[in-house]
Structure 1
Amino acid sequence: MNKSLFQIGKDLRPWIDRVIMRSSRIPDAAVHDKSFFPWIARLEQQWQAIRDEAISIRAADIPSLGDISFDHGRIAADRRWRAFFLKGYGYRIKANATRAPITSAAIEKVPGLVTANFSVLEAGGHIPRHWGMTKGMLTYHLALKAPAEREKCRMHLEGPDKLHVLNWEPGQSFLFDDMFNHEVWNETDEDRYILLIQIKRPCRWRGNLLQNAFLFGVRHSRFVKDITGAIERASHNRPQDRASAAVR
């Protein structure tokens, strides 16, 4: 049943996306105007505290996305792309949230939050050209730690009218539609850390209703259950967590 809910959503996605875009309160742009989203300025004001929490977590404690989500397949084949999830599809990852309390509190104030994680692209990492799940979500990047050679750590985003070349500047952020093809490179010897958030696209009631139905299907799918299960197993296997369990 869970798998069929997800499959039904995938099959209906083109129709769902058309309805969502007719209901969208913002234009169909590759990169969006941040001034429409007041919560972005508040997050940017907290970026240093968020950064400190992110980089305090050892890289060894941040699993590769491909190791916790087999469904990401090809795009997560490079194990240098790591993801430390705090929340996703209504599930709060308690063990991870405890290690980043300031960030966890901040994301709770983001309207329409779908997922939130610290995303690390290690030195030399590459994420191949791909696109997202639905027009019903937008993706946000808050740069926390970026390589000094900015031009060698970049994302190409293929907008409807031009190619956007986006770089990460600590403390700065951008919001984009990941249904446009995009590709990421880190051709430096430094790691890139960002806070990556997905939100629901602001829509009128009809689009919002469809978004909620689609996300309900995703939340109860094998796709999400496999990821949350893998994250829980990874957190229990961390040395400090095993030591804590032994003390208890």
Structure 2
Amino acid sequence: MATAQPGERAVVEALRAGRVAEARAMLADMADPPPMLLAHACARAGDVEGEIAALASILAREPRQLQALLAMGEAQQKAGDRRAATSFFRTALAQAGVSAVPPALHPLLERARTHVAENSDHFSTHLEARIGDVASASPRVRHAVDLVLGRVTLYLQQPNMFYFPGLPQRYFYERAEFPWAAEMESRTPALRAELEAALADDVGFTPYVQTSAARPPANNPLRDDPRWSSFYFLRDGEVVAEHAARCPATMDALTLPDLARVPGRGPLAIWSMLRPGTHIEPHTGLLNTRLICHLPLIVPPGCGFRCGSEQRAWEEGKLLIFDDSVEHEAWNRGSALRVVLLFDIWRPELSAEERAAVSVILSAIEGLDLSQG
């Protein structure tokens, strides 16, 4: 930090002694008064307009100067402009997250967090009073209001491999939207009986995330961990004969939905097992051209699932259908196994021609051999 010049030290001493008018007079006599000192003097004098002008001159040169951002937030708060204050406070908090913060500014950061929370509550109260019952018009309107109020985070499709543009940004699809859903749900008792038989024999389940010699190890805490395990019926679009023969009712049920068929890649159909105390951390899937379906077969208390900003509970025998290209996570905080029948289907918005085209593209990617010249 630069050493204060004699004139500046005199201003600081005057301010410390409470001689604000004297300090401002000395600053007025300077050809180029230090803007932060000028802002401080204006603040002590109750001259909010002068304080804002001095801080603005600093931020014009250094837009991410942390002390000036915090001070500007405080000045805008005093001026009664809560929205402006919140904007400066949020920028300051973001900057504090990526730079070293002097200990002297820590209390100001805490004040900034308090102001942001209070201003958000104030904004929410006044906005909801003005819009009245509009938010109840539909779930989408409610979601839009929650987003503008900062009550939920915006999550968008972020597939790891292939993105198809123009598809709706929906976290969940409802069971009633799919004509095959009711029939499949009605078969739950038979499907659960096959699952219980396999569990009794303790066969067929392997870790869902496995290390492959052909790929770098996945950065996943459940890699090669049997706490998250799978029993495959369809893998990369091919029937796993041994498992299929063991579970004819399950294989027959899988003929009902419009599975996402891509030669060499899909569909996928598994029992997905989550052991007690296991958390599948937030992640996104490979594609946004499919939906993932869960038919819950065993769901003990303490299990939960989140996709985007919405959390839902599994209910045995009731399909849960979601877009796995949106960030999602799952957990089993109970004391027993959780098992769902998991399979993927085409997004209903894709036309037959688009599905065929996507299938060709994904198959080409899957079959590409870069070792050939």
TM over 0.5: yes
Q: CA deviation at 1:61?
A: 3.1
- Could you tell me how far apart the structure 2 residues matched to 1:85 and 1:140 are? 15
- Aligned pairs, number: 198
After superposition, residues 146-161 of structure 1 pair within 5 angstroms as: 146-147=299-300, 149=301, 152-158=302-308
Contact map agreement 2:211 2:218 (CA 8 A) in 1: no
Q: Does 1:145 align with 2:291?
A: no
For 1:207, the equivalent position in structure 2 comes to: 354
For 1:92, the equivalent position in structure 2 comes to: 239
- Partner SS state of residue 219, structure 2: helix
- Could you tell me how far apart the structure 2 residues matched to 1:155 and 1:127 are? 9
Higher alpha-carbon deviation: 75-84 or 163-172: 75-84
Select the residue among 316, 326, 329 that pairs with 1:180: 326
Contact map agreement 1:90 1:219 (CA 8 A) in 2: no
2:174 maps to a residue whose letter is D
Query: Which digits, 9 at most, give the CA deviation of each residue in 1:52-95, with x for residues without a partner?
Result: 11121134531111247686823442430010110133211101
Q: CA deviation at 1:197?
A: 0.8
Q: 1:217 to 1:167 in 2, by over 3 A?
A: farther
1:73 maps to a residue whose letter is A
Higher strand share: 1
- Partner SS state of residue 184, structure 1: strand
- Could you tell me how far apart the structure 2 residues matched to 1:153 and 1:69 are? 30
Q: 1:219 to 1:106 in 2, by over 3 A?
A: farther
Higher alpha-carbon deviation: 97-106 or 68-77: 68-77
- Could you tell me how far apart the structure 1 residues matched to 2:248 and 2:229 are? 20
Q: 1:198 to 1:69 in 2, by over 3 A?
A: farther
- Partner SS state of residue 74, structure 1: coil
Q: Does 1:45 align with 2:195?
A: no
Select the residue among 102, 112, 118 that pairs with 2:249: 102
Query: Which digits, 9 at most, give the CA deviation of each residue in 1:152-207, with x for residues without a partner?
Result: 2111211xxxx211211111111100111011111111100100011121212452
Contact map agreement 1:51 1:144 (CA 8 A) in 2: yes
- Partner SS state of residue 97, structure 1: helix
Contact map agreement 1:89 1:215 (CA 8 A) in 2: no
Cα RMSD after superposing both structures? 2.5
For 1:31, the equivalent position in structure 2 comes to: 172
For 1:171, the equivalent position in structure 2 comes to: 317
1:130 maps to a residue whose letter is H
Q: 1:60 to 1:73 in 2, by over 3 A?
A: farther
Q: 1:209 to 1:81 in 2, by over 3 A?
A: same
Q: Does 1:64 align with 2:207?
A: yes
Q: CA deviation at 1:210?
A: 2.9
- Could you tell me how far apart the structure 2 residues matched to 1:99 and 1:131 are? 32
Identity of aligned residues (%): 26
- Length-normalised TM-score, structure 2: 0.49
Higher alpha-carbon deviation: 133-142 or 103-112: 103-112
Contact map agreement 2:303 2:332 (CA 8 A) in 1: yes
Contact map agreement 1:81 1:125 (CA 8 A) in 2: yes
Select the residue among 98, 105, 112 that pairs with 2:259: 112
Higher alpha-carbon deviation: 63-72 or 92-101: 63-72
- Could you tell me how far apart the structure 2 residues matched to 1:94 and 1:68 are? 23
- Partner SS state of residue 336, structure 2: coil
- Could you tell me how far apart the structure 2 residues matched to 1:209 and 1:172 are? 30
For 1:134, the equivalent position in structure 2 comes to: 287
- The runs of 5 or more residues in structure 1 that have no matched partner are 1-9, 22-26, 223-248
Higher relative contact order (CA 8 A, sep 6+): 1
- Partner SS state of residue 135, structure 1: coil
1:51 maps to a residue whose letter is R
- Length-normalised TM-score, structure 1: 0.72
- Partner SS state of residue 86, structure 1: strand
Select the residue among 66, 71, 74 that pairs with 2:219: 74
